[in-house]
Amino acid sequence: MDRNNEEEVIRNYQKGEKMMILLFAQWCINHDLDPVDIYQQAYPYQAKNTELIDALELTVSKKESDHIDSETLLDVLSMYGNDDLAFVVSEYIK
């Protein structure tokens, strides 16, 4: 793979990761949950997630949002390796 292709793959992954964070944040808003609190439960020893804070600025109110399927969120979290976060989210789904 040449350098340009590698950079394109990295950019696409980063875009997808940002969408995953926004999806998580909006799902939390839709369920009257605090995304920062949920994230801290999953990763208690990590510093604040600045990408999550940035994503919160892009969320809309519960009334304005489309439905986000919980299983879809869990799939996306797992796809990006956020298994601890997926576990915490699944506890809230129950």
Q: What is the pLDDT of residue 3?
A: 77
Rounded to an integer, what distance in angstroms lies between the CA atom of residue 32 and that of residue 28?
6
Q: What is the pLDDT of residue 1?
A: 64
| Alpha helical stretches, state H, 1-94 | 3-30, 35-42, 50-56, 70-79, 83-93
Predicted confidence (pLDDT) at residue 13 exceeds the cutoff of 90:
no
The closest alpha carbon to 67, from 16, 22, 30, belongs to 30
Per residue in 23-62, pLDDT (tens digit) is 999 999 999 999 999 999 999 999 889 999 999 999 999 9
Q: Where are the domains of the chain?
A: 3-93
Residue type for position 69: D
User: By CB neighbour count within 10 A (0-12 exposed, 13-18 middle, 19+ buried), where does 80 fall?
Assistant: middle
